[in-house]
Amino acid sequence: MKLKRAAYPYIVWMMVFILMPLLLIVYFAFTSGDSQSFLDFTFSLNNFKRFFTPTYLKVLTRSVNLALLSTIISLIVGYPLAYIISKEKSKRQNIMILMLVIPMWMNFLLRTYAWLTLLGRNGFINNILAKIGVSPLNLMYNNKAILLGMVYNFLPFMVLPIYSVLTKIEKNLIEAAEDLGANSITIFRKVIFPLSLPGVITGITMVFIPAVSTFVISDLLGGGKYSLIGNVIEQQFRVTGDWHFGSALSIVLMIFILITMAFTSKIDKEKEGGGGGLW
């Protein structure tokens, strides 16, 4: 069909604006030099060597730990929510999903900033505590505040895919299990949960990726004291100007994400007998 040609301009576009920028990042990561001309860079592995020092390994560990924890918390808190919503009548389902989505339509920065109003030293919670005579608590600028910010911002990304898979489970399967004498716990364990795994996998990737790469949440709620890999990349590009090291860190970040995705899609395939992953 002649219409194929309509895609050619976009193929060129993707080469220029998607592929080429990533290749440039790879180029930056494996070179060093501070001249203005890109061709004067020399090949070097120093950027990666610098990454494998305790300071930056600690940053990576902290980022991965916080992202994993926030993913696990979102799953534990979000799965029941998705399950309850999927059991409601269809009209109520739509309203509840809408209510879940509405907070996401507030600017991401403002949503995070709102927690400053609540948790800050002169914030809402400390003011209430002061009224009943409790001395102010340090609720902000620690790992817990960052974790809270991550769960708050990304929880809907966990609930939505699980919910959409749960609503597609055929009722016949559950009825069949009931007829065969399974109790509700067994039905959940042996039928519903395994069938909802693709949604869980999508949810995990959709929470983990933004959580592990964020720099805004850690910046606002961590007060700059608890930097994550995203903060270090941001500093390299915006402040220090060491794009080579920043690029190397981004590549490390991308590798981590690819590993997570490979790992989760493997679970998916084992359980589902080869359901298509995201790629």
Partner 1 sequence: MVSKISKKIYLFLMFAFLYIPIVVLIAFSFNDSKLQGVWSGFTLRWYIDLFKDAEILRALYITILIAILSSVISTIIGTFAAIGIHGIKGFNRNIILNLNYIPVLNPDIVTAISLMALFRFVKVEFGFITMLLSHIVFSIPYVILSVLPKLKQMNVNLAEAAMDLGATPFYALRKVIIPEIFPGIITGMLLAFTLSIDDFVISFFNTGHGISNLSITIYSMTRKGINPIINALSTLMFVVLLVLLLVINKRSDEDLKIGGN
Among 35, 55, 90, 107, contact with partner 1 (rule: CB under 8 A): 107
In the complex with partner 1, which residue's Cβ is closer, 180 or 231? Answer: 231
d(CA 109, CA 249): 24
CB of 253 to partner 1, least distance (A): 7
Residue 198 makes contact with partner 1 by CB under 8 A: no
Among 14, 76, 134, 255, contact with partner 1 (rule: CB under 8 A): 14
Q: For the chain, how long is the longest CA-to-CA vector?
A: 76
CB of 14 to partner 1, least distance (A): 5
DSSP character string of 74-92: HHHHHHHHHHHHHHS-HHH
In the complex with partner 1, which residue's Cβ is closer, 121 or 176? Answer: 121
Measure CA 153 to chain center: 9
CB of 92 to partner 1, least distance (A): 11
In the complex with partner 1, which residue's Cβ is closer, 108 or 263? Answer: 108
First to last CA, the chain: 26
Closest CA to 118 of 225, 221, 32, 243: 221
Among 100, 191, 200, 248, contact with partner 1 (rule: CB under 8 A): 100
User: Taking CB under 8 A as the criterion, which residues in 160-179 touch partner 1?
Assistant: none
Residue 62 makes contact with partner 1 by CB under 8 A: no
CB of 266 to partner 1, least distance (A): 17
CB of 111 to partner 1, least distance (A): 7
CB of 168 to partner 1, least distance (A): 13
Count of Cβ atoms closer than 10 Å to residue 17 Cβ: 10
Closest CA to 258 of 236, 277, 243, 275: 277
3-state SS, residue 259: helix
Sign of CA dihedral 242, 244, 250, 252: negative
User: What contacts 208, CB < 8 A, 6 or more positions away?
Assistant: 67, 68, 71, 257, 260
- What x-and-dash track marks residues 118-147 binding partner 1 by CB under 8 A? x-x-xxx-xx--------------------
Segment interacting with partner 1, rule: CB under 8 A, options 68-76, 111-119, 161-169, 195-203: 111-119
